[in-house]
Amino acid sequence: MKFKGVIFDLDGVICFTDQYHYRAWKQMADGIGVYFDEEINNRLRGVSRMASLDIILERSAKQYSAAEKEALAEQKNDIYRELLLQMSPKDLSAEVKSTLEELRNRGVRLAIGSSSKNTKIILKQIGLEDFFDAVSDGTNITHSKPHPEVFLKAADMLHLQPSECMVVEDALAGIDAAVAGGFGSAGIGEAATHDQVTFPIQKVSDILTL
């Protein structure tokens, strides 16, 4: 590992909250009679809550005011938070856990770089509350991915330059953010197909071989 730091996206890399996001958005969309499916849900990966709502409302004939949108986003988040309570340390795979431990043993500094404002709750649910050297998330940024802010703040918290860090992402918007910030990147799933990803990987443990 030639990088001094690794910055992990949370949703879709460390754990799998996609289904919970999907179920919560689906319930909200059904409530206002707006069509929503798994394909639209894929476009929400890495995208902030309000930007996700805007994507869902593309299918709506009605124009929603800012206050109405806030209420819809809150409704979704309440459902989502309830679902997150079902998560436990069992939702952290043995593969991800051992990869994190091995990187720590090698002296690599480890951070989270996630757009989610629920990051700290999720880390607590899966037993990683105090594990990372830095947590940069939706609560300390003004621009969401593809803007690099969340990763730049993470690198800063690790006292490292972007060029010394690798970002691990599952979202195309996350790789865009890594490229824009001058970070190396490892892309899993859809992110492995990004034409500017540094290392396409198939599973998180592959980063140990880089």
Interface with Mg ion (CB under 5 A): 9, 11-12, 170-171
Q: What share of the chain is helix, strand, coil (3-state, %, to 5)?
A: 50, 10, 40
Question: What sign does the CA torsion over 82, 83, 86, 91 have?
Answer: negative
Pairing of strands 134-136, 109-113: parallel
From 44, 141, 165, 207, residue interacting with ligand BG6 (rule: CB under 6 A):
44
| DSSP letter string, 139-185 | TS-SS-TTSSHHHHHHHHHTT--GGGEEEEESSHHHHHHHHHHT-EE
Choose one: 42-50, 54-62, 100-108, 192-200; the region binding ligand BG6 (CB under 6 A): 42-50
Per the annotation, the verdict on 195 as an active-site residue is: no
Q: Does 52 bind ligand BG6 (CB under 6 A)?
A: yes
Q: Does 49 bind ligand BG6 (CB under 6 A)?
A: yes
Q: How far is the CB of 87 from ligand BG6 (least distance, A)?
A: 13
Q: How far is the CB of 146 from ligand BG6 (least distance, A)?
A: 12
From 26, 45, 147, 194, residue interacting with ligand BG6 (rule: CB under 6 A):
45
Q: How far is the CB of 145 from ligand BG6 (least distance, A)?
A: 8
- CA–chain centroid gap for 104, Å, is 21
Q: Does 169 bind ligand BG6 (CB under 6 A)?
A: no
Q: Which does 116 bind (CB under 5 to 8 A by kind): ligand BG6, Mg ion, none?
A: ligand BG6
CB 14 within 8 A of CB 126: yes
What tokens were used for 21?
Answer: 């996001």
CB 28 within 8 A of CB 133: no
Per the annotation, the verdict on 137 as an active-site residue is: no
Q: Does 136 bind ligand BG6 (CB under 6 A)?
A: no
Choose one: 27-35, 41-49, 146-154, 199-207; the region binding ligand BG6 (CB under 6 A): 41-49
Q: Which of 9, 137, 170, 176 does the annotation list as catalytic?
A: 9
d(CA 46, CA 53): 13
Q: How far is the CB of 57 from ligand BG6 (least distance, A)?
A: 14
Question: What sign does the CA torsion over 208, 178, 199, 20 have?
Answer: positive
Q: Which residue ranges make up the site for ligand BG6 (CB under 6 A)?
A: 10-11, 21, 44-49, 52, 77, 114-118, 138
Catalytic site positions:
9, 11
